[in-house]
A and B are shown apart, each in its own frame.
Chain A
Amino acid sequence: MAASGTSIDPSLRHATAADAALRQVSEPDSLVIRFPASEPLRLDSGRDIAPLTIAYKTYGELNACKSNAILICHALTGDQHVASKHPVTGKGGWWETLVGPGKPVDTNRFYVICANILGGCMGSTGPASLNPATGRPYGVEFPVITVGDMVNAQARLLDHLGIEQLFSVIGGSMGGMQVLQWCARYKDRVFTAMPIATAPWHTAQNIAFHEVGRQAVMADPDWQGGAYYGTEARPSRGLAVARMAAHITYLSEKALQDKFGRGLQNRDAHSFSFDADFKIESYLRHQGSTFVDRFDANSYLYITRAMDYFDLEAEYGKLANAFTGTKTQFCVVSFTSDWLYPTRDNKEIVKALNGVAANVSFVEIESDKGHDAFLLDEAIFFDTVRGFLNAAAKKRGIA
């Protein structure tokens, strides 16, 4: 067998799926709110975005006094389909084990909102959206955004829905960064907050991994300086490599070793080629190729950039200052084997909250599944979420 790397090449199958994904940019399978050009969103960079579209999903019923709303903030490659079928992949919601009727985030009691982030590619304004100045998709003309901008856009959505105060803001990873930013920027609008498997700033190592991913995308000739929309080609190989590298950071060494070890993929011996001999290679290639079916490469660049810029301490001088005067009840959660946003980083949040005598719980969940543990079926994590929300709901008078 000749040396090849064919399994991550874009194929016709990908083209069809990618077209379906691209349709979500302009016609998402979810609710949409469009703010006209006359109501621009002022970004942290000083630039404006207009018009602004936010695509979102809701689950459950908003009660009469609008006190039972929970905002779920999604992570880098997540979207608004938190507890319902993904319109492109057909897979279940990315957090459907946690969110739903009778689940820890119980949609029989709570009104759950999840919006695609600003800069995303599932219907909210992002680099694949039309640039009103040119009539073409933004591409790299899209302004660089921040986690703060994402949160400001979500606040616009809540204004539109008439929700003054959220019962809770919950999110893991970059979703957790949004949670922290919410608590810093909109202190009175957050009753409880659950930042999960996250960090108050991006470390050098975090930025380093993201830079590898961005360089992989930009090194793909099909990226075409970001102006690939409307052409035959898409930077699928670059994006797949970015995803493969990132995916390693989501797992623990032990999880990789236990699941794959040195196992061979559909063969008994090494092929003496660059084919995917090892199970782990095959797995990563699969992760890469399925990811490009549903995600826009430019969105990946912009969102990773926003995460790299995230630094609450720099924004407020001292991390504790971000939370001065907060009345929000916090529950910070980390996972023992998460080396992307380790317990150490999560404890910095706890320390800062203690420093302003905030009401904070902190739970480190024992898990060998790495950063991804927050998305998986972890019984103790679920108990924590359920218990924390139930106790707070009692205080808030939610039936």
Chain B
Amino acid sequence: MNEETRAPLVATDQRTQRPVRADHLLIAEMVAPGSRVLDVGCGDGALLELLISQKDVDGRGVEISRDNVNACVARGLSVIQGDADQDLSGYPDKAFDYAILSLTIQATRQPKVVLENLLRIGHRAIVSFPNFGHWKIRAALLFTGRMPRTPNLPETWFDSQDSHLCTIKDFSDLVALLNAEVQDAVAFNSRGQRLAIKNSLSLQNLLGEKAVFLLSPREKS
């Protein structure tokens, strides 16, 4: 592994003065400047703001939390109060260059349907998710016999919104099932150091705390 790939991903959000999430920086690298972007589960709009300021995108968001939506709109972001499970079906095909789902797929009721919709709405889909195959989680389950709680997944099983946690391998299987093409895939560890997944899926599934996939629907022949 060369020095470049081992460099930690760090940057500071201009507005909040908080560190930018590593997966957001990776996503921002994948997005072409000036493109049309839909961020599904956009939270407080941090990624949208990053993409607008760094990549000059035409960005839209969907967010389930009313407070988050209000905050986004009050900051001038185009965000809809809605739900990845219910509100994606209304969007036309290929309405966006990128449909993004950052750390949200595990909280959806029907991840497969959501991902199908992303691949339909966007020319490309970008998905980041916490990797349940990470060694700390495996170890926690093996040695404690209880649902793992990590800094990454801090909630108890009964409080957590994450109903569909998966590993990098699981997600890759879903991508294959949906006949989508992996354009890029990056896993990174707790220090924000990236690991290139394509080289060894098993290793990245063990060492990657989170992953980001850039997908495109395979054109039907």
Question: Do B70 and A384 have beta carbons less than 8 Å apart?
Answer: yes
Task: Report how far A27 CA is from B173 CA in the complex, Å.
Answer: 74
* Residue from A354, A357, A366, A387 within 8 A of B76 (CB atoms): A387
Chain B residues within an 8 Å CB radius of A88: none
Asked whether A359 and B78 contact (CB < 8 A) given A354-B91, A384-B73, the answer is yes
With A351-B90, A354-B90 in contact, is A364–B76 under 8 Å at CB? Answer: no
Q: Is the CB of B81 within 8 A of A364?
A: yes
Residues of chain A lying within 8 A (CB to CB) of residue B100: none
| CB under 8 Å from chain A, chain B span 79-94 | 79-82, 87, 90-92
A209 at the interface (CB under 8 A from B): no
CA distance A351 to B82 in the complex (A): 10
Q: Is A394 an interface residue (CB 8 A)?
A: yes
Interface flag for B75 (CB, 8 Å): yes
A357 touches B78 (CB 8 A): no
A173 to B91, CA, bound (A): 26
B82 cross-chain contacts in A, Cβ below 8 A: 350, 362
Residues in A whose Cβ lies below 8 Å from that of B112: none
Is residue B77 contacting chain A, with contact meaning CB distance below 8 A?
yes
User: Which of A354, A380, A383 has the largest number of chain B CB atoms within 10 A?
Assistant: A354
A64: interface (CB < 8 Å): no
How many residues on A have C-beta within 8 angstroms of the other chain's C-beta atoms?
A: 26
Chain B 184-207 near chain A by CB (<8 Å), digits 1 or 0: 000000000000000000000000
Determine if A240 is an interface residue (Cβ-Cβ < 8 Å).
Answer: no
State which of B77, B95, B96 has its C-beta within 8 Å of the C-beta of A361.
Answer: B77
Q: Which residues of B contact A73 (CB under 8 A)?
A: none
Assess the A329–B78 pair: CB atoms within 8 A.
Answer: yes
> Which residues on the B side are within 8 Å of A366 (C-beta)?
66
Instruction: Give how many B residues have a beta carbon under 8 Å from the other chain's beta carbons.
Output: 22
Contact B78 A360 (CB under 8 A): yes
Q: Mark A359-399, 1 if CB is under 8 A from B, else 0.
A: 11111111000000000000010011011101110100000
A161 on the B face (CB < 8 A): no
* Cα distance, A385 to B137, chains bound together (Å): 45
Across the interface, A380 reaches (CB within 8 A) one of B70, B77, B79, B96, namely B70
**A-chain residues with CB within 8 Å of residue B90 when the two chains form the complex:** 351, 354-355
From the candidates A351, A354, A361, A394, name the one contacting B73 in the complex (CB within 8 A).
A361
CA distance A329 to B72 in the complex (A): 15
Contacting A387 at CB < 8 Å: which of B74, B80, B96? B74
Task: Please judge, given known A-B contacts A355-B90, A355-B91, whether A383 and B70 are in contact too, CB under 8 Å.
Answer: yes
Residue A174 lies at the interface, judged by CB distance under 8 Å to chain B: no
- Which residue in chain A gives the minimum CB-CB distance to B95? A357
B69 within 8 A of A: yes
Q: How far is the CA of A387 from the CA of B79 in the complex (A)?
A: 12
In the assembled complex, the CB of A231 is this many whole angstroms from the nearest CB of chain B, namely 51
Question: Residue A151 at the B interface, CB < 8 A?
Answer: no
Determine whether B109 belongs to the interface, using a CB cutoff of 8 Å to chain A: no
Q: Is the CB–CB distance between B70 and A356 below 8 Å? A: no
| Contact among B60, B73, B87, B92 for A363, CB-based, below 8 A | B73
**Do residues A360 and B92 form an inter-chain contact, with CB atoms below 8 A?**
no
Query: A363, B70: Cβ atoms under 8 Å?
Result: yes
Residues of A with C-beta under 8 A to B66: 363-366
> In the complex the two chains form, is A388's CB within 8 Å of B92's CB?
no
Q: Which residues of B contact A361 (CB under 8 A)?
A: 69, 72-73, 77-80
The residues of A with any CB-CB pair to B shorter than 8 Å are: 329, 331, 350-351, 354-357, 359-366, 380, 383-384, 386-388, 390-392, 394
Given contacts A357-B96, A365-B66, A392-B76, could you give 10 more A-B pairs where the C-beta distance is less than 8 Å? Answer: A354-B80, A354-B91, A357-B95, A360-B80, A362-B80, A363-B66, A363-B69, A386-B74, A388-B76, A394-B76
- Complex A-B: 23 CB contacts under 8 Å: A329-B78, A351-B87, A355-B90, A355-B91, A355-B92, A356-B92, A357-B91, A357-B92, A357-B95, A359-B58, A359-B78, A361-B79, A362-B80, A363-B66, A363-B70, A363-B81, A364-B66, A364-B69, A383-B70, A387-B75, A387-B76, A390-B76, A391-B76
The 7 closest A-B pairs by CB, nearest first: A391-B76, A387-B74, A357-B95, A362-B80, A383-B74, A351-B90, A354-B90
